[in-house]
Amino acid sequence: MMSEGKNIFNGKGMCMTCHTLKAAGATGNVGPVLDTLKPTMDEVKKVVTEGINLMPAFGESGLLTPKEIEAVAFYVAKSAGK
C-alpha cells in the first residue's frame, strides 16, 4: 500500500504540488508541511475526502476513489516526519 499511496501522492492526487513531504520528494509550499503536521491516517482521509480551506474535496468530487484515498492516507500517516 505504501508504493500505491506514494504514486497517488505524486501523481493523480497532485498532493506534491501543494504539500512538503520528504519521503515523497515533495516540496510544495501552499498547504501544510506534512512532515511537521504528522497527521494521522483518519485526519488525512477526512481532509482528502471533504477538503478544507483551499484544498478541494477529492472524495466528494470523485477525483480519487475511496480505495485511493485510503492508500494515500496510509502513505502520508506512515511517512510524515520520517
Reduced to 3 states, what is the DSSP secondary structure of residue 31? coil
Q: What pLDDT does residue 77 have? A: 98
Spatial contact of 2 and 75, defined as CB atoms under 8 Å apart: yes
> Taking the model in full, what pTM does it have?
0.95
CATH, residue 8: 1.10.760.10
Over residues 9-39, the pLDDT tens digits come to 999 999 999 999 999 999 999 999 999 999 9
Over residues 47-61, the pLDDT tens digits come to 999 999 999 999 999
Q: Which domain holds residue 12?
A: 2-79
Number of domains in the chain: 1
